[in-house]
Amino acid sequence: MGVGNRMTGRVQAIAGFLRRFAVASHGNVAMIFALMLPVLAILTLGGIDISRATTVRSHLQDALDAASLAAARSPYITDAELTEVGLRSLRANMPEYFGADSGDTATFTLSPDRVVIADATVNIRTMVANIILPPYGRMLDDTLPVGVRSQVTRSPNIEVSLVLDITGSMAGSRLTDLKAAARDLVETVIKADQEARAIPGVPRMRMALVPYSMGVNPGDYAVAVRGSIRGATDISGIAWSPTTTTRSVAGVTRGSATTITSSGHGYQNGDTVWISGVGGATWINAKAYVVAASTANTFQIRRNGADVNSASAAQWTSGGTIRLCTVGSCELVVTSTNHGLADNERVAMSNIMGLTSLNAVVDSRNNYAVTGIFGVRRVTADTFSLIGVVGPNQTQTYASANNDAVQCVEIGCQSYVFTNTQGTPTLRAVSNCVSERTGVDAYKETAPGDARVGLTYPGSDNGCLGSTITPLTVDRATLNAQINGYRAVGSTAGQIGVGWGWYMVSPIFGSIFPVDNRPAAYNLKDVVKVVIIMTDGEFNTTYCNSVVTGSLSGSGEAKQHTRCDPGAAYNGNPFEQAVTMCSAMKAPGRDIVIYTVGFDISASTGAAGKPDTAMDVMKACATDDAHMFLPKTGASLKSDFATIGSEISRLRISK
């Protein structure tokens, strides 16, 4: 039975009762009743309308709450635009109201503190009072207004950094499940109607992606975070003397200071010369000497800062030649324009003709072992000498070639030579991936221009992952495309992933990104920063001088690792590194919300106060226990990611 039918029945019953009571003749009772009749009618019949109004009010409140949420989720900031969105929702939920001529009203406004305030009033037509008991019904209005209010706090700007373990152990269905869960999270957090530009009052839900395995691949931002890599430079000459001219030895005078006679020699004090071929006084041969007390036809010789004492040495009998050296040690000097080398740096040379013994030799079958690495002394910006490689002792001479080159082999160079765990010099090429910072900035968000992140020189069995970071963006297509392209590879350097999870929402480190991708400042009341850290296993990869160190299971062959000499750059326990980073993220002034997701990880924990397992990291890093998730299956992983997404994007009704 409809509301109209029920109300008609009640009205007819009341009317019949009143007609019977009107013909009664009981004196005072009838008189009193006549006087009370208007009041009774208003109370009785008005109560019916008020009851109906109460029901409508309840429906209106629910409809206005839904409309307020719709307006708050929209990208609009003007009252007119918000009201248009809200009215569409109200009409859909209460089609009998808010018509063009109804007189029903609704307004939606946005306060400075991001609260959408909605007020709605509908006019309920009275169903009884104007039909029964005229003229008393005219005391009532034809409609009864009902008004409600709803307030919705617009969600703040959200910056989410999603840190995903895509190591080799995630291969197969595990990675498939992770991709599906991550894509669902993107769809939940990033609203379809968002715009890339920042609009005051409109929430921006941006997300960054940090896939990690043996490190993190910063992609196009590699130079910005690690610095430029020093490459090879061409060689244009190798010689130990600036001239081919020689001078003859005409005599050697013995004494506490040995004197060489050579007519018109032309040498100056401080020059270094090489003497050879002397007869009799053979003790003087095949050595470099510094010229002192030079005259037109004679000079004294010195070695190691002292005069050469030959008072009791064998006497000169004949011959001998003298040749000027380019540098004091008579070492080979390499000419390579703008070589960029510093004293004591090591180099490897290639494709040299003539002096072929200078070429580096790499044995790829034996763990990339290498010979032919030389230390250098910088002479000029365009020349350097090879430490210990005495030029006159070489049996070959340099022959010019078109592709001979010299390459530094230190950290920061295209290739790096380190000593592996078996004590063998090993040559390794740099990758695009990066490792931890070391030193005073190890656990800070310092801008990379002031403190570079670590490089990686990976082995052949644990190479750089191809999946790159994605800075904060509202572009769902970009995020989903990146996720779809993830491939499982490599070992687990979880501490590096955690660090980059922070970097992506840090306004300090993130200054390297384009304007639309830069994180907002800290301590803004309308910005919430979130980091989600996911792993499926134990952290097993640490670095020392940019090479994987130690023999942790799962990080490749130990012989491809560095032995990490004392004093080298090494951060130690990867679990402790991760927890230290998390503590910094959660510190007052940053207050980053951290979710952790341990996908089918072991329940084992380390000693109290010393994180040694993935479970320790999940517990210590999460904002609280409610922010830690431990899914065991792909289905539960998707469910947990959905829960996290809902929590992040949830809007709340404030009143």
What mean pLDDT do residues 69-86 have? Answer: 87
Mean of pLDDT values over 316-331: 96
Q: Quick one: pLDDT at residue 197?
A: 42
Whether residue 45 is predicted with pLDDT greater than 70 in this model: the reply is no
pLDDT at 363: 86
Q: Is 3's pLDDT higher than 50? A: no
Round to whole Å and give the CA distance between 362 and 441. Answer: 35
Q: Which fold has domain 157-227+432-653?
A: Rossmann fold (3.40.50)
Question: What is the percent of the chain with per-residue pLDDT over 70, rounded to a whole number?
Answer: 87
Across residues 253-281, what is the average pLDDT?
97
Cβ-in-10-Å burial (0-12, 13-18, 19+) of 401 comes to middle
Residue 108 and residue 79 in contact, taking contact as beta carbons nearer than 8 Å = yes
Q: pLDDT class for 36, splitting at 50, 70, 90?
A: low
CB of 85 within 8 A of CB of 71? yes
By the 10 Å C-beta count (0-12 exposed, 13-18 middle, 19+ buried), 295 is classed as exposed
Q: DSSP alpha helices (H): ranges in 120-221? A: 173-189
Number of neighbouring beta carbons within 10 Å of residue 128: 22
> Is residue 254 predicted with pLDDT exceeding 50?
yes
For residue 41, is pLDDT > 90?
A: no
**In the prediction, which pLDDT does 7 show?**
47
Question: How high does pLDDT run on average in the chain?
Answer: 88
pLDDT of residue 12: 57
pLDDT at residue 193, as a whole number: 56
If you average pLDDT over residues 402-420, what whole number do you get? Answer: 94
Task: Give, for 507, the enclosing helix (H) or strand (E).
Answer: none
**Strand locations in 336-433, DSSP E?**
346-350, 361-363, 369-371, 373-380, 383-390, 405-408, 415-419, 425-429
- CATH number of the structural domain 233-238+331-419: 2.40.30
pLDDT value at residue 364:
77
What pLDDT is stored for residue 196 in this prediction?
43
- How many whole angstroms separate alpha carbon 615 and alpha carbon 603? 6
Q: What is the pLDDT of residues 373-397, one digit of tens each?
A: 999 999 999 999 999 999 999 999 9
pLDDT greater than 90 at residue 153: no
Q: What is the 3-state secondary structure (H, E, C) of 89-140?
A: HHHHHCCCCCCCCCCCEEEEEECCCCEEEEEEEEEEECCCCCCCCCCHHHHC
User: In 555-652, which residue ranges form alpha helices assigned H by DSSP?
Assistant: 574-586, 614-621, 634-649
Report the 3 state secondary structure along 409-462. Answer: CCCCECEEEEEECCCCEEEEECCCCEECCCHHHCCCCCCCCCCCCEECCCCCCC
pLDDT of 31 strictly over 70:
no
What's the pLDDT band for 4 if we cut at 50, 70, 90? very low
The residues, ordered by sequence, that sit 6+ positions from 448 with a Cβ below 8 Å of its Cβ are 224, 225, 226, 509, 512
Residue with tokens 């993130």, as numbered in its chain: 510
Which residues are within 8 A (CB) of 263 and not within 5 positions of it... i.e. 6 or more apart?
248, 250, 297
User: Distance between CA atoms of 594 and 586, rounded to whole angstroms?
Assistant: 8
- The residue among 145 and 180 whose pLDDT is bigger is 180
Note the pLDDT of residue 634. Answer: 93
**What's the confidence (pLDDT) of residue 1?**
41
Share of the chain above pLDDT 90, in %: 69
Model confidence at 40: pLDDT above 60 = no
Q: Where does the pLDDT of residue 136 fall: very low under 50, low under 70, confident under 90, or very high at 90 and above?
A: very low
The Cα–Cα gap between 517 and 220 comes to 14
pLDDT at 133: 42
Which residues make Cβ contacts (< 8 Å) with residue 244, sequence separation at least 6? none
Contact 368, 547 (CB under 8 A): no
pLDDT higher than 50, residue 137:
no
The tens digit of pLDDT for each residue in 527-554 reads 889 999 999 989 999 999 999 987 666 7
Reduced to 3 states (helix: H, G, I; strand: E, B; else coil), residue 395 is coil
Is 157-227+432-653's fold the same as 244-318's? Answer: no
Q: Max alpha carbon distance in the chain (Å)?
A: 169
| Highest-scoring range by mean pLDDT, 73-82, 128-137, 366-375, 472-481 | 472-481
Residue 406: the pLDDT is: 97
- Predicted confidence at residue 655, as pLDDT, reads 58
* pLDDT, tens digit, 9 for 90 and up, residues 563-611: 887 778 788 889 999 999 999 999 999 989 999 999 999 998 887 778 8
Domains of the chain by residue range: 3-152, 157-227+432-653, 233-238+331-419, 244-318
CB atoms within 10 A of CB 102: 12
Q: Looking at residues 23-45, what average pLDDT do you find? A: 55
Mean pLDDT of 403-410: 96
How sure is the predictor about 58, in pLDDT bands with cuts at 50, 70 and 90? very high
Class of domain 244-318: mainly beta
Pair 508, 137: CB distance under 8 Å: no
User: Is 592 exposed, middle or buried, given 0-12, 13-18 or 19+ CB atoms closer than 10 A?
Assistant: buried
**Would the pTM of this model clear 0.75, i.e. be above it?**
yes
d(CA 546, CA 453): 10
Q: List Cα–Cα distances, 654 to 105, 118, 641, 651, in angstroms.
A: 22, 12, 26, 9
